[in-house]
Amino acid sequence: MKHSYFKLNEEDILHIVKDFLLQQLNSEQSQGNLALVQASKDELHLVAAFSNIEDDSIQQLDLQSLGKTIDYNGPISSLTDSNFIDTSSTETKEKVQQLLQKLKDEGIE
């Protein structure tokens, strides 16, 4: 596979994330409000709110304030350390390389 490059603006990012979150909610009918929020000089967060009922008030939510009151609950931030591979371990690196080679040998890339 050749490299693919993407440069996404805020609208693209919000659209992709909204589709992903709706998929996680198993709902195509939800109303949503999403925003990228500058949490600090170096941190940017996405805050989202959805409703599965007709509720125009969801558009009026102050997502900046909401972001200060809720914890991270995304699929990556809620993973524990046991979900990650320790890439500093030589043994782990060798196992991963063996698995990748096995997949390649089976024609799966």
Q: What is the pLDDT of residues 31-80, one digit of tens each?
A: 889 999 888 888 888 999 988 888 788 888 899 888 888 888 887 777 66
CA dihedral of residues 20, 74, 30, 27 (deg, nearest 10): 60
Residues 6+ apart with CB under 8 A from 1: 109
Longest dimension (CA), the chain: 55
Looking at residue 103, its amino acid is L
Position 8 scores a pLDDT of 93
CB 24 within 8 A of CB 8: no
**For the chain, which residues make up each domain, given as ranges?**
1-78, 83-109
Q: 29 versus 73: which is more confidently predicted?
A: 73
Instruction: Report whether 65 contacts 49 (CB < 8 A).
Output: no
Note the pLDDT tens digit of each residue in 87-106. Answer: 677 887 787 778 778 777 87
Residue 1 has pLDDT above 80, yes or no: no
